[in-house]
Amino acid sequence: MISIRGLSKSFNGTAVLDGIDLDIAAGERVVVIGPSGTGKSTLLRSLNFLDRPEEGLIRIGDVMLDAADASNAEILALRRRTAFVFQNYALFANRTAKENIMEALVTVQGVPKPDAERRALDVLAETGLADKADSYPASLSGGQQQRVGIGRAMALGAELMLFDEPTSALDPEWVGEVLDLMRRVAEHRQTMLIVTHEMQFAREIADRVLFMEGGRIVEQGPPEQIFGAPRDPRLQRFLKRLSQ
Amino acid sequence: MQGLDLEYMLGLVPVILGYVPLTLGMAAAAMVLALVLAALLAVERVFRVAWLDWAVVLFISFFRGTPLLVQLFLFYYGLPQVLSVLTSIDGVTAAIMGLTLHFSAYMAETIRAAILGVDRSQWEAAQSIGMTQSQMMRRIILPQAARVAAPTLVNYFIDMIKGTSLAFTLGVTEMMGAAQKEAAGSFLYFEAFLVVALIYWAMVELLSQGQAWLETQLNKAYAR
Ligand SMILES: Nc1ncnc2c1ncn2[C@@H]1O[C@H](COP(=O)(O)OP(=O)(O)OP(=O)(O)O)[C@@H](O)[C@H]1O
Ligand SMILES: [Mg+2]
């Protein structure tokens, strides 16, 4: 169970997140859509403290913190309940595919190396990259890198997986394989919060869709409602622009 | 002009070569110490630990802003007058200390730039999986920075080797000192110092070859 109350963040005095309230049930798949610059990335990054929110209560599983006075220990604990999949993959350049997945297990979770290695190889097999275990990111295609990135997040066993436009940086030919892998992740009843511009995919995978604008959640509901019968004029305009 | 006394030079080569281990030893010791110190200084400069930052800035500025020879004289001849613990310090130790402090200031700047050059995504990925700052630095950032900084650091090592000749001015009998003593007997100063120059040149050439090899290895790393 994830619960967020009054999450706020500003950059240079401009509010980018304006008091976000959000509850996500275990196993729920929530997709965030909205125009550029409305704080979608900032929302995800704040939940991982890559951006530090100024205010708000965040509760993920047994970790609960108040953003206004979060200690380092609390921030680390929160990060260990979340896994982040980056738009630009952000694989460790000095680690092979296998080592990228092992890194958090060994260094952060203290899993013994042989166990971590076995887990990493299992995950790689699931991402379809078993034969790339010993390759460095620089020698992988964008799609392969992103699949390792998702594998790295999967291996963490995190309460919440955050995806920030995981296919936006990919050549169109690689988008399909990454979306397929995300469907596989969803089948595990993994709780997911996904920012994406792939509306077809959103419609199909989401239990709930959030439409954000100006740092607020303007409208939310099941995909049939959001895409089929949008109420807020801003959402209607956004969808209309997309379909043109 | 008289011709070079080649025979004298050839005879001198093994004598001077006998001092190469001392030269390389001083340089290697100073290099190891300077690397450790420089990495610490660089990390401090990146994170700017409030009360420490001004001291580190001052340290780097001083050791970059004054000549190595002056620093060596300060340590060896000057400090013992102020700090009695240093009275027993010998020339070799003083030279190693001086080289360490002097070059760590330069190397800190190189390492700092390399750290700041590591892509932002690497920092964020490390943070996102819950690494502590020291885990992030040791396992992800510093190894990648080291790869970028290595060729420049080897350059400083070469400068350091040449810098050990200044230990001569602290009364250490190293390659220069030995040549000076030899020449004092034979009066063949040109030959003696030419031998020293040639041996330095050969050592630096060898290292430059090693540096080129290192660079190709580093370029290949992480690419398989
Ligand atoms: N580090 C930063 N410093 C200053 N401003 C920032 C920073 N990060 C984001 N912003 C600003 O905050 C606002 C929201 O950015 P954010 O990246 O969250 O938008 P987004 O909804 O993810 O947009 P996009 O669809 O383009 O990715 C933007 O106006 C952006 O310019
Ligand atoms: Mg974004």
Give the integer Cα–Cα distance in Å for B23 and B103.
16
Is residue B160 situated within a structural domain? Answer: yes
For residue A34, report the distance from its CA to the centre of ligand 2, in Å.
10
What average pLDDT does this structure show over A203-228? 96
In a domain, residue B181? The reply is: yes
Within chain B, where are the H helices?
6-17, 20-47, 50-65, 68-73, 79-82, 91-117, 120-128, 133-136, 142-163, 175-186, 189-220
- Segment B98-124 shows an average pLDDT of 97
CA distance B14 to B18: 6
Answer whether residue B103 is part of any domain.
yes
Which tops the pLDDT comparison, A183 or B216? A183
Burial class (CB in 10 A: 0-12, 13-18, 19+), B87: exposed
Beta strands A192-195; A29-33: pairing state:
parallel
Name which residue sits closest to atom 16 of ligand 1, judged by CA: A39
Q: Residue for token digits 């995806």?
A: A163
Helix (H) or strand (E) holding A153: helix A142-155
> Distance (Å, rounded) from C-alpha B103 to C-alpha B115?
18
Q: Do B144 and A93 touch (CB under 8 A)?
A: yes
- Give B221's pLDDT tier (boundaries 50, 70, 90): confident
On the 0-12 / 13-18 / 19+ scale of CB atoms within 10 A, B1 is exposed
Write the ipTM.
0.93
Domain count, chain B: 1
Q: How far apart are the first and last CA of chain B?
A: 60
Q: What pLDDT is recorded for position A236? A: 96
pLDDT digits (tens, 9 = 90+) for B110-120: 999 999 999 99
> So what's the pLDDT on residue B75?
86
B101/B63 Cα distance (integer angstroms):
7
A7 touches ligand 1 (CB under 6 Å): no
> Which pLDDT does position B223 carry in this prediction?
82
- Mean pLDDT throughout A94-122? 96
Q: B122 and A49: CB-CB below 8 Å?
A: no
pLDDT tens, position by position, A142-174: 999 999 999 999 999 999 999 999 999 999 999
Residue B32 lies in a domain: yes
Q: What is the mean pLDDT of residues A106-132?
A: 96
Q: Establish if B193 belongs to a structural domain.
A: yes
Sequence-distant (6+) residues with CB within 8 A of B202 are none
* Whether residue A46 has its Cβ less than 6 Å from ligand 1: no
Q: Could you give the CA distance from residue A222 to residue A85 in angstroms, rounded to a whole number?
A: 24
What pLDDT, on a 0 to 100 scale, did the predictor assign at position A183? 96
Does B26 map to a domain?
A: yes
Partner-chain residue, chosen from B129, B143, B144, that has the shortest CB–CB distance to A108? B129
Exposed / middle / buried, residue A200 (Cβ in 10 Å: 0-12, 13-18, 19+): exposed
Query: Do the domain assignments include residue B196?
Result: yes
- pLDDT given for residue A94 in this prediction: 94
pLDDT, tens digit, 9 for 90 and up, residues A48-92: 999 999 999 999 999 999 999 999 999 999 999 999 999 999 999
Question: Residue B174 domain-assigned?
Answer: yes
Flag whether residue A163 sits within 8 Å of chain B, measured between CB atoms: no
Residues near A115 by beta carbon (within 8 Å), at least 6 away in sequence? A105
Cα–Cα distance measured from residue A61 to residue A191, given in angstroms and rounded to the nearest whole number? 11
- What is the predicted pLDDT for the residue at A118? 97
For residue B147, the domain's CATH number is: 1.10.3720.10
Token pair for residue A98? Answer: 């296998």
Structural domain range at position B202: 6-222
Q: Which residues contact B108 (CB under 8 A, 6 or more apart)?
A: B37, B38, B39, B41, B42, B45, B56, B60
pLDDT tens per residue across span A12-55: 999 999 999 999 999 999 999 999 999 999 999 999 999 999 99
